[in-house]
Amino acid sequence: MWISDLMTRHVISCSPQSGIEEAVKLMEKWDVGCLLISENEKLVGIITDRDIAIRIIGKGINPKKCIVKDFMTKNVIIGIPLTDPLAAAKLMNKYQVRRLPVVDGEKLVGIISIADISSYAETILGEVAKSRKR
């Protein structure tokens, strides 16, 4: 099993030049806590609802005057499709991130979350429990 088997392939993204208000509307529309920032299918950053709350709202900055590029995280921790889910979980733990964009070469192909890995772990544990009852 690889993270490519567990990841979400429909990635919600916007450009670095997008306004923060546009980014928030996308997060609300798609019910997501982060947006991947891309240019020509290449990952260039990530912005989370927490980033917006802390870096903009919490500092009293008017979000109507902000663009994503100025508040996104540029050094994004990534995974590749053939990453083992346990290795991805360890990477996420090490860097204290809840989501891991997945890239193939330079192309953004998906995203995996702690919840995705947790669901997979529950499935595995359930199978182990079933096999012990036999």
DSSP assignments along 3-72, one per residue: HHHHSBSS--EE-TTSBHHHHHHHHHHHT-SEEEEEETTEEEEEEEHHHHHHHTGGGT--GGG-BGGGTS
CATH code assigned at 111: 3.10.580.10
- How much is the average pLDDT of 18-42? 95
Say how far apart CA 99 and CA 97 lie, in whole Å.
Answer: 6
Query: In the sheet where 13-14 sits, what is the strand order?
Result: 13-14, 34-39, 42-48, 107-113, 99-104
**pLDDT given at position 133:** 67
Q: pTM score, two decimals?
A: 0.86
| Number of domains the chain contains | 1
The mean predicted confidence, pLDDT, of the chain is 93
Give the pLDDT band (50/70/90) at residue 127.
low
Residue 131 has pLDDT above 70, yes or no: no
What confidence tens digit (pLDDT) does each residue in 49-60 have?
999 999 999 999
